Structure 1
Amino acid sequence: MADLDAILGALGGQSLPATLATIDEGVMQGLAARRDARVARRGMVMALAVAALVGVAGSLAPVAPAQAEPLFGVPAGAPSQLLAN
């Protein structure tokens, strides 16, 4: 334990390297990049959840059966068709 105290005492007496003064900007840029990535990931997860919810709700909703009509025929709601019946 005395050796550790002597080593730490020797380190405490030394001056700090000059590169430590410029490390703040790099750390802050790294934190900002991580924050941006987290926000982007959160947005993608939210979009995925909404899409899944809409897909499940759309598949469970009851739908009316499809009715085929002639392509160029008279529509069933046309006035001439209503007067003829």
Structure 2
Amino acid sequence: MLKMKPSCECCDKDLPAEQSGARVCSFECTFCEDCTTTVFADTCPNCGGELVARPTRSVDKLINNPASTQRVHNPAGCTKV
């Protein structure tokens, strides 16, 4: 099951699990759409993998399967590729 991290690792924007707009790589590094396209050119700055749309999780499923609350924020790793 995906961790569903709550924020962009670059700009720290909130990324609610029940809403679209998050991008992830195969290691679940998580970024917002804006950082993915304007800063990273759809490539994960951590592993070099492809950043793709993270699926959403319905609110009723979040009750028993909550998203992560652990924020990962690494502004030092936010450089254009």
* Higher fraction of strand: 2
TM-score, scaled relative to structure 1 = 0.16
Tell me: higher relative CO, structure 1 or 2? Use CA pairs within 8 A at least 6 residues apart. 2
Larger radius of gyration: 1
Q: Which has the higher helix share?
A: 1
